[in-house]
């Protein structure tokens, strides 16, 4: 099974800060990597797919990069509404694995 | 508008059977996969399995194979997740999510249901 490891587990940042979350795969997944945001009590929401493609309706301050085993999610200027937990997911073929999540708090 | 409407919260005793549902609307139900994802209290997301309602092709995560059954009734655009005998450790929020079929590219889960909270307690 492919394992996904996110870091950090928690981060606290101020409005306007640039925020980066990292996701590492235990083996190459090409670009089959998605990022989701989940707010408390809500279902996850797709932000990024194919490592760097922005889902329709997602603000352009969100971006993704990476290939193979190393990926990053960047929020260029953190906004109050960006609090929540972010998950990466590999989705190659019929195997799906999520990272353990990164909780983003607004200072 | 694409919607995945899940059945309501359930409270069960250990050993009871359970079946929860996920009804799709606003799109062609038989042309997309439906996945089930578990989230235990305060924990992360775990993929359980996925079904293609068009022909009922079903794949399971090794962690959940044999513990749950996924099915679908395409005539009513509904997918199901069922247990024959629930345990306290099945207490969790369960989400269904849609996945586009492969078309020269793999796809993640683009729409999610609102979740069904399952509580198992004696």
Q: How confident is the model at residue B103 (pLDDT cuts 50, 70, 90)?
A: confident
Chain A CB contacts of B51 below 8 Å: none
Checking if the pLDDT of B102 tops 90, the result is: no
How far B86 CA sits from the closest chain A CA (Å)?
A: 23
Q: Measure the CA–CA gap between A104 and A10, rounded to whole angstroms.
A: 6
Residue B54 backbone zone (phi > 0: left; psi -120 to 50: alpha; other: beta): alpha
Read off the tokens for B65: 């194979």
pLDDT (tens digit, 9 = 90+) per residue, B66-91? 999 999 999 999 999 999 999 999 99
pLDDT at A54: 98
pLDDT at B104: 80
Q: In the predicted model, what is the mean pLDDT of chain A?
A: 97
Any B CB within 8 A of A57 CB: no
Collapse the DSSP code of A78 into the 3-class scheme (helix H, G, I; strand E, B; otherwise coil) and give the result. Answer: coil
Chain A CB contacts of B103 below 8 Å: none
Do the bridges between strand B69-73 and strand A97-98 make them parallel or antiparallel, or are there none, so unpaired?
A: unpaired
pLDDT at B59: 96
B72 to A13, B13, B18, B47: CA distances (angstroms): 44, 25, 15, 17
pLDDT (tens digit, 9 = 90+) per residue, B16-69? 999 999 999 999 999 999 999 999 999 999 999 999 999 999 999 999 999 999
User: Which residue among A1, A43, A91 places its CB closest to the CB of B113?
Assistant: A43
> What are the two backbone dihedrals, phi and then psi, of residue B108, each rounded to the nearest 5 degrees?
-85, -165
Checking if the pLDDT of A93 tops 90, the result is: no
Chain A CB contacts of B108 below 8 Å: 34, 46, 49, 89, 91
pLDDT (tens digit, 9 = 90+) per residue, A29-38? 999 999 999 9
CB A6 within 8 A of CB A21: yes
Question: Do the Cβ atoms of B46 and A87 come within 8 Å?
Answer: no
Checking if the pLDDT of A95 tops 90, the result is: no
Residue of A nearest to B57 (CA): A94
User: Which residue among A43, A49, A93 places its CB closest to the CB of B108?
Assistant: A49
pLDDT (tens digit, 9 = 90+) per residue, A69-86? 999 999 999 999 999 999
Helix (H) or strand (E) holding B32, with range, is strand B32-39
B85 to A16, A59, B39, B51, B90: CA distances (angstroms): 50, 44, 19, 21, 10
pLDDT at B108: 95
């Amino acid at each position: 099974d492919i394992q996904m490891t996110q870091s950090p587990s928690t981060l606290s940042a101020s409005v306007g800060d640039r925020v980066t979350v990292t996701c590492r795969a235990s083996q190459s997944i090409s670009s089959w990597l998605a990022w989701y945001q989940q707010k408390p009590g809500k279902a996850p929401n797709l932000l990024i797919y194919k490592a760097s493609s922005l889902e329709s309706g997602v603000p352009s301050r969100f971006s993704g990069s990476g290939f193979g085993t190393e990926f990053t999610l960047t929020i260029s200027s953190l906004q109050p509404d960006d609090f929540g937990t972010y998950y990466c997911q590999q989705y190659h073929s019929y195997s799906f694995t999520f990272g353990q999540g990164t909780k983003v708090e607004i200072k | 508008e694409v919607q995945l409407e899940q059945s309501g919260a359930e409270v069960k005793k250990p050993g009871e059977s359970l079946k929860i549902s996920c009804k799709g609307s606003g799109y062609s139900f038989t042309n997309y996969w439906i996945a089930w994802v578990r989230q235990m209290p305060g924990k992360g997301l775990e993929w359980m399995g996925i079904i293609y309602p068009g022909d009922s092709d079903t794949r399971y995560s090794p962690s959940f194979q044999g513990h749950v059954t996924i099915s679908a009734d395409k005539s009513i655009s509904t997918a199901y997740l069922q247990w024959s005998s629930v345990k306290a450790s099945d207490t969790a929020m369960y989400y269904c999510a849609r996945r586009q079929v492969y078309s020269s590219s793999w796809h993640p889960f683009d729409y999610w249901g609102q979740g069904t909270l399952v509580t198992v307690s004696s």
